[in-house]
Structure 1
Amino acid sequence: MRVSLLLGRLLLSSSVALPLALIAPAGAQTLPAIFPAPVSAKLTGGELALGKTVVLVQAGKHDPETDALVRRILTAAGVEQIRTAARLPARLDATHIVLGTGGAPLVKSALARTGATLPTQDEGYALTSAAADGSTLIVLAGKDGDGLYHAAQTLRQIVTGHGVPALTVADYPAMPVRGTIEGFYGKPWSMAERASHIGFLAELKANTYIYSPKDEVFARDRWREDYPAETLKALGGLVDAANRHHVNFVYAISPGPSICYSNPADLDAIRRKFSAMRGIGVRSFYVALDDIEYTKWNCPGDEAAFGKPGEKAAASAQAKLLNAVQADLIAANDHGSLIMVPTEYYNATESPYKATLRKELDPRVVVQWTGTDVVPPSISVNDARNATRAFGRKTLLWDNYPVNDYRESAGRLLLAPYARREAGLSGELSGIVSNPMNQEAASRPAVMGLIAFAWNDRGYDSDRTWHAAARYLAGGDRQVTAALLTFFDTQHLAPTFGTHPWQPQAPRLKVLIDRTRDALASGDASAQAEALDGLAVAAEELATAPDLIRAGVTVPGFAAEAKPWLDATELWGRALKLTVSGLAAALDQTPGSGDTANRLLAEAQRLAAQAEAIQSIPGAVRFDGPIKIADGVLDIFIRDARNLVLASGSAR
């Protein structure tokens, strides 16, 4: 997929005309969109040609994946010959690209030559391009190897056609940990989906994938047992891919439902499992102790060792276990890390459990926290600060969005933008990971938002990122992008465990429907015609969006995962078209218009009933059920249409 199409220059997301003074004249250089939004990016000149020959100058340690990525970018841009050199000549005779980390003298001199400065933060990078001696000089400099890889991912986004703009980017992440946790109940992802997802994370400069599917038997129900050789080999392939792509593969085990904390054999079972994973390249580990009871022990020995079951005793037992595992990591000396999710994983209310964990747990162990609730409607800086106090360390946010493994999410894809997380959270969190849906590809719009927020929370724009996600899925095609945004609107509702969603359903469509209701009530014929015309356009977009998406989405899996939703959307769009036509006929008041209106509205009701009968794909999610499309907005309007206008000669 071409980079410029993947996350290319931002397109206007509305049809509002811009003043002429704001429209760039033909040939004017514009700053390309870089995703996630960088800390600093500025144009320094016009378009620079790459030419047919490019010389790569490698400084310091060679990273094969970064080198391969740069070569793919250049080849896609029409470069025919890629040479290598050990130094930068005094005078350039072709485009030269310097790649290296900041400690290399060659990188320092190349940056000085372009006037750029390398950020000092971990994973930071500088990318600068400038005219030099009638040729082009591009410098990709990383604070470390990860930063250099991120610089190459930014190069991937700014190359257009056969050139690059002259610019300087200085960038680094706001949060140390950014990514996803495959932590949902129900059907786990396939190995192929995980591999694709890791590549997707790498493109976004995310650095973490946590393997913790709740229904993976050897990680939870049968956690004491060794993996079959074939499964371990497949996991090893994922770990290798993650390591090459600078994504930290974190392996999680969930022993809580059956563990005996006082039994040395259970600690040995964890050590054996982690040792096997270390053998395939895993360096970071995770012990999940969520969704279990602390009002009972799993073995009599725990009561003898830790006292009667309860919050404090559970925390002591867990801390002892985790401290032993943390000591193993230190002894292994492989720079690994240990994460745990506590039994009290949401809210920051002081309790005997949290107080004991805060006191007894090794401070190097990372604690996960889901926010003020399991599915929080918002998260503020103060919320995170309270969690820091409660757990005695900055927490790693497990954000349960867009996960759809709970009953309130049945029948839904969660496609609203990542929102209502306060800028400044980077100061109180060690990072954020998203718990995505059972549908991997359909999770990407929300995940893209979370990762963009984690990279630069103070520069994050939820709507702009949402539109970028649609363009990404569409491969840059304008029509498909618009169709996806229409579809996203029908799946905008974001539920919680309660009755009140934290994001509303179909806000764009609701505006048009509310305008139509008000116009009909006003009795103003001109306003009625205008409102119905606008709603008719939206109905046509709704009816035609599924075919455009099926044919045009470039991310494998999305159309298949969304199939029942796309099928239902098409029917609802046709039903809305008939409803608008029926209302227009009812307003006409000419002979026979009442019969026409009733026929059209009845047919709309029939199609709506057909759409409401479509079910989710059996087994794809934890809770099956009827597909929901703009529910509470579209269905109510179509149902109410007969009562909004009484056509001449109609009988009720």
Structure 2
Amino acid sequence: MYKNPAQPLGTIEGFFGKSWSWQERSDHLQFLARYGYDFYIYAPKSDAHLRRHWQLDWPAETQSELQKLRHQCHTLGLHFGIGLSPLDIYRESRENQHRSLRQRVRQIRSLQPDILCILFDDMRGDLPQLAQLQLDLVHLAASESLAHRLIFCPSYYSVDPVLEKVFGTMPEGYWQALGKGLDKAIDIFWTGEKVCSPEYALTHLHRVRELFQRKPFLWDNYPVNDGAIKSSHLHLRAFPYSHHQLHNQLNGHAINPMNQPWLSQLAIASLIAAYEQGAQYQPQQTFDRLAQELPGNTMAVQLHQHLGLFQDQGLSHMSDAQKLALIEIYRPFTEQSQSAPYAQEIIQWLSGEYVFDPACLTE
């Protein structure tokens, strides 16, 4: 299986909307280990203790579940990460900013994460001296953390103009200041030319490398489907052919999955194939294999038949009668152990149980 310590592959649970259950996370770790992934990062936008109320420690029950996840990661040979989004930290005085962040990082340290992410994505960015403010905070977090890897997500993590439209004009020289001032041991998340980039041109990645004075750590927003438009689609296809070129171009590659953990496996498992097979990688053949391998051969025919309907057409272009007919098609598969969780997610999606979270401002 693909293993490259210089360019680890894994997932970051970093989406808006309906979050995964603890059992679904545990099952996801089993899947990651089986397919040869390196890490899992816990950073759901729905966890208020990582975002809206980030200064507050988790309740005992949540801490216990996170300890179990960390233990399971290590048992399976995976690295465990936590992603902290210090929302509105700039509203506090510098002294309070530092005190609050120092205290929270120490609390997180008790979980002994291998990876700590300090995430300034999806929050206001049109502030004077933004780069220096963030550099100070990230370096402070690094000084308090015992994690062997620290990853920083800037407020402007793509050249996509939607970020300035939603979060304000990026301060002049922001990226250059980060590249020059950030400790070279700290990685920088990047999503490509778009917030949800379908592909990554090597010329673009090389420019980003020069800008940040290090290879980017890719935050890949496929197959995530938490946006206003994307939430009505299921992203099941394999990663595109061009992903085979990403070997040795990055400091790491983190996949942001869908709100549907089991169905996300189809796309996620394909990335390993792209890295392993290089120029021999064939996305359609890979999907064909995974459609039989994951939910089981019995449901593969239906997945092939409805792939365009689920991924391209989406819920917004289906009639109620069409949705009900599809539910009846997939209902029998919920009684078969291997295909059951995949079929259940399709039925839940068709039934409107994955509601768009308007807190997701980018698409």
> What is the TM-score with the length of structure 1 in the denominator?
0.48
Counterparts of 1:339 and 1:455 in 2: how far apart (Å)? 25
Match of 2:130 among 314, 318, 333: 314
**How far apart are residue 620 of structure 1 and its match?**
4.6
Contact 1:381-1:422 within 8 A present in 2 as well: no
- Aligned residue pairs, count: 340
**How far apart are residue 358 of structure 1 and its match?**
0.8
Equivalence for 1:290? 121
Deviations 1:73-121 (A, max 9, x none): xxxxxxxxxxxxxxxxxxxxxxxxxxxxxxxxxxxxxxxxxxxxxxxxx
Contact 1:175-1:454 within 8 A present in 2 as well: no
Counterparts of 2:70 and 2:273 in 1: how far apart (Å)? 24
Equivalence for 1:558? 342
Equivalence for 2:45? 214
Higher relative contact order (CA 8 A, sep 6+): 2
- Cα root mean square deviation, aligned: 2.9
Deviations 1:260-290 (A, max 9, x none): 5762333333333332333233132010001
Matches within 5 A, 1:231-630: 231-260=62-91, 263-296=94-127, 309=128, 313-329=129-145, 332=146, 336-347=148-159, 352-475=173-296, 477=297, 479-493=298-312, 546-547=330-331, 549-552=333-336, 554-555=338-339, 557-563=341-347, 615-617=351-353, 620-622=355-357
Higher helix share: 2
Deviations 1:518-569 (A, max 9, x none): xxxxxxxxxxxxxxxxxxxxxxxx8985356444461553222110566xxx
Equivalence for 1:143? none
Deviations 1:334-388 (A, max 9, x none): x611001111101399961101101111111110100110011321211211111
Counterparts of 2:139 and 2:313 in 1: how far apart (Å)? 38
Contact 1:255-1:289 within 8 A present in 2 as well: yes
Contact 1:207-1:246 within 8 A present in 2 as well: yes
Distance 1:442 1:251, change over 3 A: same
Aligned to 1:221, the other structure's residue is in SS state: coil
Equivalence for 1:204? 35
Q: Which amino acid in structure 2 is aligned with residue 316 of structure 1?
A: Q
Q: Which amino acid in structure 2 is aligned with residue 323 of structure 1?
A: H
Contact 2:52-2:87 within 8 A present in 1 as well: no
Distance 1:459 1:210, change over 3 A: farther
Q: Which amino acid in structure 2 is aligned with residue 436 of structure 1?
A: P
**How far apart are residue 186 of structure 1 and its match?**
1.1
Counterparts of 2:41 and 2:99 in 1: how far apart (Å)? 22
**How far apart are residue 244 of structure 1 and its match?**
0.9
**How far apart are residue 441 of structure 1 and its match?**
0.9
Deviations 1:133-183 (A, max 9, x none): xxxxxxxxxxxxxxxxxxxxxxxxxxxxxxxxxxxxxx6448622111111
Distance 1:345 1:420, change over 3 A: farther
Deviations 1:397-439 (A, max 9, x none): 1111111111111322111221153432223211211111111
Contact 1:348-1:383 within 8 A present in 2 as well: no
Distance 1:271 1:460, change over 3 A: farther
Higher strand share: 1
Deviations 1:290-312 (A, max 9, x none): 1122224xxxxxxxxxxxx2xxx
Counterparts of 2:77 and 2:200 in 1: how far apart (Å)? 28
Counterparts of 2:280 and 2:313 in 1: how far apart (Å)? 23
Counterparts of 2:188 and 2:277 in 1: how far apart (Å)? 22
Counterparts of 1:456 and 1:394 in 2: how far apart (Å)? 22
Contact 1:315-1:356 within 8 A present in 2 as well: yes
Deviations 1:417-472 (A, max 9, x none): 21153432223211211111111111111111123334554443212221222112
Counterparts of 1:289 and 1:492 in 2: how far apart (Å)? 30
Query: Which structure 2 segments of 5+ residues have no match?
Result: 162-169, 318-325, 359-363
Matches within 5 A, 1:185-204: 185-204=16-35
Aligned to 2:229, the other structure's residue is in SS state: helix
Counterparts of 2:65 and 2:327 in 1: how far apart (Å)? 42
Distance 1:271 1:328, change over 3 A: same
Match of 2:15 among 177, 184, 193: 184
Counterparts of 2:3 and 2:232 in 1: how far apart (Å)? 39
Contact 1:204-1:451 within 8 A present in 2 as well: yes
Percent identity, aligned pairs only, is: 28
Contact 1:384-1:425 within 8 A present in 2 as well: no
Contact 1:347-1:372 within 8 A present in 2 as well: yes
> What is the TM-score with the length of structure 2 in the denominator?
0.84
Q: Which amino acid in structure 1 is aligned with residue 154 of structure 2?
A: P
